[in-house]
Structure 1
């Protein structure tokens, strides 16, 4: 069974340098998460990565720039880095077409350039969509200036993966501080806070009427829906009373959202997502290299989880191939 993992990250040295040179405040997570062995694996696009894919039982990785992407750079730098990163991903895919596909990195600090780069990445480079990290500093993904980028994604039938990003410093200070320096950062980021951040971006898109305006726009959320998916039963009636939307939040989840596990090997979460979004909207991912585990855990999870053969095949590869036009 072919196994395609769609949230698999890279970090070129040029992007590290651009982050360091960007205006403050800087995202504090990379220093904690992207060094050491993770740093080596993020930079490796050849034999080392392929060997670990083989060990995991993963046939294809969909490569993407890790968080916080290009969102905190100056507009000019973001445009330059987007071109360089996307060209790098495309060259890697060309060298190993049976092993790699790619998500584009987009220069969201320049809202006019972002849709142009998305079109170049998809039409000229053959990338399959884009991965963004929610906010661009204080500007959320539903901001009107970013609507052309979302419209271009709908036009191209290119899915947008919303990846977590660390909350703003003011939010961290208000909600996640006071336990201890290391614990505060973990709580604000990969422990909890950045999952709320990513899920909130999808909720905001729905609440702002983006899916009414762009009914064919497809969004992907990792980590089994970034917490908010499990609150649809709460959100649906609340927003039906308070917002003038054409459809319910439940309908948006079943028509405009795909979910993936990001290396969280939980059958309980998978089954709940299956009930919420349906079998054709489950995608597989390992969140490489952050959730890497030796011993073939990714393939074993897919093979052992309680799904019928058709749903299992869709989860493993078929749903992604259909979403990105690689099969009928």
Structure 2
């Protein structure tokens, strides 16, 4: 049973330098973790150590993605200058390790037209399999019409867009995620809750804004068991009569959105997701290296799940392979 990991992060030295210029004090929580922690070497590695970690976890193929905040907080000119070299680095890693790596393109979302053009190059020339974007870009949530050029390109290419969390806007962080001291504040605003609530709200805004009515073929991938919003679809249905959408909000989750665990190895959440969106909408992701998998744990999560073997194989590899088989190169 082949096992794909779809949220497997990395960073390049050039991007680290750009982040440090943008945030010299490493004030943002993600900067401390990505630039100056024991995780940094694993993020920078696109070679044998990463492959060894995959082997240890039981992952056959990692789909590489630039870790949050990617290029999205940088000045547009700097972000545009970095997107092609970053994607070239992903493609080079895939060539060095064929059969073990695939890639999501990194995009300069603050320059959406340039980002859309780069997505086309990354897919048609470099062979990447979509893009990973973070939930906001320089103070703008990704439902805003200015970003729709990216979704138009993704739909045309038939590639997925993995929507990853990012730190909530400063005003939100200050109001809701402060007051308990730096370590607790930082985790509350990011990996414990804030990231996930923010990303789920972004997807909900995309639906309500009409992104999927305008681009009905667009396929989004949402990690961490649907970033909270998946668990509130019955309640969110109260908005159906208030919008002018073509379908009930929950239906978009069953036709345009895939769900991954993003490193949360919970059979309870898996059962809920299966009941809510169906096995055809679930794929695997480990969130490496932020979630350090124990020996064999990625494969063990699926092998011990209380589901049929056919469903196990669909989550492990069939859904992803069917999705990327339709990409227009």
Question: Could you say whether these structures have the same fold, taking a TM-score greater than 0.5 normalized by the shorter chain as the test?
Answer: yes
Match of 1:249 in 2: 249
Deviations 1:126-167 (A, max 9, x none): 000000001112211111111111011011011000101011
- Check whether the contact 1:259–1:282 (CA below 8 A) recurs between aligned residues: yes
Distance 1:33 1:24 in 2: 14
Deviations 1:62-98 (A, max 9, x none): 0000001111011111111111110000011011111
- Check whether the contact 2:158–2:326 (CA below 8 A) recurs between aligned residues: no
Distance 1:25 1:214 in 2: 40
Could you tell me the TM-score, scaled by structure 2's length?
0.96
Match of 2:78 in 1: 77
Return the offset for 1:263.
Answer: 1.1
- Check whether the contact 2:159–2:219 (CA below 8 A) recurs between aligned residues: yes
Match of 1:119 in 2: 120
**1:143-162 counterparts in 2 under 5 A?**
143-162=144-163
Distance 2:298 2:33 in 1: 21
1:54 aligns with 2:55: yes
- Check whether the contact 1:137–1:168 (CA below 8 A) recurs between aligned residues: no
Distance 2:318 2:50 in 1: 23
**1:264-283 counterparts in 2 under 5 A?**
264-283=264-283
Determine helix, strand or coil for the equivalent of 1:302.
helix
Aligned-residue Cα RMSD (Å) equals 1.5
Unpaired segments ≥5 residues, structure 1: none
Runs (4+) of structure 1 exceeding 3 A deviation are: 23-27
Could you tell me the TM-score, scaled by structure 1's length?
0.96
Return the offset for 1:112.
Answer: 1.5
Q: Which has the higher mean CA deviation after the structures are superposed, 17-26 or 45-54? A: 17-26
Distance 2:250 2:229 in 1: 12
- Check whether the contact 1:167–1:194 (CA below 8 A) recurs between aligned residues: yes
Distance 2:27 2:68 in 1: 9
Unpaired segments ≥5 residues, structure 2: none
